[in-house]
Structure 1
Amino acid sequence: MNNQPNDPFDELMRRSLAEEADRIEPTDALPEILDRAHAVRRPVARRPWVVTAGLAAVGTAAAVGAFTVFNGNFNTADEGDAVAGQGTVTSAGGAPTTTPDTPRSEPTKAPTVRPSEATSASPQVGRGMPEQVVSNKAVPVYWLGSATAGKPTQKAAPQTRSSTRLYRTWSRVNGRPAYQAVRIMTSKQPSDADYYSLWKGAEVGSVTLDGAVVTVDFKRFPEGRVDEETAHLAAQQLVYTVQGALEDSTRPIQVTQRGRTGVRLFGQVDTSLPLGRAQALDVQALVSIESPTEGALVSGGVVTVQGTAAAYEATVNYRATNLKTGKQYSSVVNTSEGQKFSPFTIELKLEPGAWQIEAYLLSGEDSSVSDLDTKTIEVR
């Protein structure tokens, strides 16, 4: 520590300060300090909790806005309110302008009618164009019949598949061919008693062409209920008849009753959608005689028998029996192709009298008759 002599100047300063301090009287200056602090406005730094609260408020507003945009289908605006939905922006002038959205295409399923909903209140089908009128045209008409349509003169094989098949006959018509063919199928009796139709009592109203579909509208459906297999075969009877008359096997058949779909045919077949064509091997008779027809009167000694068959190795058996004398002629004839529906022709020299002609296939297991069609004719 330095011990220096007293400086006269320092001594003079101490005395002056002491005298000045003695003249000061202490008072409470806190209120004055606070007043001065409030009077001077200084920039205040935002505290962290203030910033956090502000962000939360902005986030809430954004969430509300997003709900309004993406749920616009559930919001309505009062008059004068401007609601900005998805794909819209607001211009500087305040008028809303639209920007094109890219649409999201989703596959649309065609409406169908569940079986439980198939009632008279089903959707109505639009009408198409009518058929072209024809004159004296031969059209096919299909009928139901046993796979052994007739009584064979020898043992028949037990049937392991459907015992009911479709048999084709021919009719000449004037007017609209499919309409006339359906009218015959529903109101006429086939000449062969071995054939029949479940469409008795039905009344056809019109047959129209609706693009790729043919619509057959009935004023009245056939009454009655049958088992499912027979019902579907009867539906194919209609499909084959209409398509055959139109000479077009590709167009499905939409069945309606007074313009409405969904009513079940025979209590089984749903008509809410068009009916397609079943495979011929599944529904048609594997052998049938189409000429001469049942009960025909044939002049001359030579009888020409024509038919179709889907025969193994293209072989069709035939037999002609004189119903009075019991005389028989039998042999085989070949179709143009095997295992496929193809025509066959048989030439028979027959004496006058009543004859039963049989065309049939033989079972590969026991050589019994598996498929057969018969016709009874009178030779003069």
Structure 2
Amino acid sequence: MRRGPARPGRRARLAAALAAASLLATGCTTGIRNHDDTVMPTTAGAQSTSLVTSAPLETATAGQTIPVYWLGHSDSSVYLYREFLASPTTDEPIVASLEAMMTRSPKDPDYFSVWKKPSRLGASISAKNVITVDVSSDAFSQTVDAGIAQRAVAQLVYTATAAAAMAGLINPDSTPQVSVLVDGHTGYKAFGQVSLDNPQTRDPSLLAPVWIIDPGNDSTYHALPLKVDGQGISPTGSLTWSLAKVVDGKAGRVQQTGTVKIPKGPDQFGPFSFNLVPPLGTYEISVFITDPSAPGGKVGVDSKVVTLAGPSPTPARK
């Protein structure tokens, strides 16, 4: 969850996300909550101001999840954030991830997507590391501005390359490209804004400067310590974290705070990890870049709500 322009409360956002999920059968877009999700903030142009300058591929894994990138507001821009969703057992991995991106709802209600359910979707990979995605034009029927359209296309590129990389379908030593066909043809203007003339690669400037990968939002844990993993970048090579107790669905007073180093160092996008041992309860974990130019200033805030419920009950012996 991010802290940027004034946004609805978490309960309202969660209710909206659940309501949107019920529209799956009709093919409506699942991630849009309000007008803010179809336009870039008025204080920002179409270009991102992210500190991220490289976008490493995911590593191959045999896990039962698929990667999906979503859009999310942060500060005065919109960035890409990744989640892992349960994997369908029958679909080809790239198609499965893209279909989830276009039809399913994010686990974190602060994420969103402007894609709509396509009537047709396919994908293939060439020997030259080019992923070709062929999608029907109805996937682009949401009305958005140029900034959101640019990010939605990047969302597809990131999701397709992540799925291919995790499935071991591409050569990780060369940069994968994604060619997008619409109804079998090149040159379509996505969302009426972005021309799909040439193969595209990952644009690192659109990655969120900070995001929490684990724990997932609204997850419950039965053992301590609670391990927090994520990715981020900072001019100092350190990020700040805070832990606030959640009462009646709202984050209250910050109870713990600290810093965590990004092992790759200053101005290098990379993983971070730290452990927490708070009392049992429900908390909002936030990680962000401290803004030295403003007292208490925070940049790129990402937050997750997690419940620490103590040990699971031991099953009774028969």
Does TM-score exceed 0.5, indicating one fold?
yes
CA deviations on 1:119-142 (whole Å, 9 max, x unpaired) are xxxxxxxxxxxxxxx964443211
The runs of 5 or more residues in structure 2 that have no matched partner are 1-60, 166-171, 310-318
Deviation at 1:203, TM superposition (A): 4.5
Which residue identity is paired with 1:376? V
The structural deviation recorded for 1:327 is 5.6
Q: Which residue of 2 aligns with 1:360?
A: 288
SS in 1 for 2:185: coil
2:209 paired with 1:286? yes
Task: Provide the aligned C-alpha RMSD in A.
Answer: 1.9
Q: CA deviation at 1:209?
A: 1.2
Task: Output one character per residue of 1:243-293: Cα deviation in whole Å (capped at 9) or x when no partner.
Answer: 111115712111112212222111111113222221x1x101100001010
Kindly report which structure 2 residues correspond to 1:157-168, keeping only aligned pairs within 5 A, or say none. Answer: 159=76, 163-168=77-82
- 2:272 counterpart SS class: strand
In the alignment, is the contact (CA less than 8 A) between 2:116 and 2:142 conserved in 1?
A: no
Q: Any conservation in 2 of the 1:224–1:267 contact (CA below 8 Å)?
A: no
Q: Is residue 328 from structure 1 mapped to residue 255 from structure 2 by the alignment?
A: yes
Q: How does 1:32-51 map to 2 (within 5 A)?
A: none
The superposition leaves residues 98-132 of structure 1 with CA deviations (integer Å, 9 ceiling, x where unpaired) of xxxxxxxxxxxxxxxxxxxxxxxxxxxxxxxxxxx
Match of 1:376 among 305, 311, 314: 305
**Alpha carbons 1:221, 1:265 under 8 Å: kept:** no
Instruction: Name the CA distance, whole Å, in 1 between partners of 2:180 and 2:120.
Output: 10
Amino acid aligned to 2:272 = F
Report the 3-state secondary structure (helix = DSSP H, G, I; strand = E; otherwise coil) of the residue aligned with 1:339: coil
Unaligned runs of 5+ in 1: 1-133, 149-158
Counterpart in the other structure of 1:115: none
Change (3 A) 1:361 1:204: farther
- Please list the CA deviations of residues 324-371 of structure 1 after superposition, one character each: whole Å capped at 9, or x if unmatched: 374611010101122121111120012221100000011232141111
User: Larger % of helix: which?
Assistant: 1
Q: Which protein shows a greater Rg? A: 1
Question: Normalising to structure 1: TM-score of the pair?
Answer: 0.58
Q: 1:196 aligns with which of 104, 108, 112?
A: 112
Structure with the larger RCO, 1 or 2 (CA within 8 Å, 6+ apart): 2
The Cα of 1:302 is off from its aligned counterpart by: 1.8
1:223 pairs, out of 117, 124, 141, with 141
**Percent identity over the alignment?**
26
CA contact (8 A) 1:362 1:371 kept: no
**Contact kept? 2:229, 2:273, Cα under 8 Å:** yes
Paired position in structure 1 for 2:278: 350
Aligned residues between the structures:
232
Check if 1:263 corresponds to 2:164.
no
TM-score (norm 2): 0.68
Is 1:301–1:352's contact at 8 Å kept on the other side of the alignment? no
Within 2, Cα distance between the matches of 1:323 and 1:135?
A: 35
Q: CA deviation at 1:372?
A: 0.6
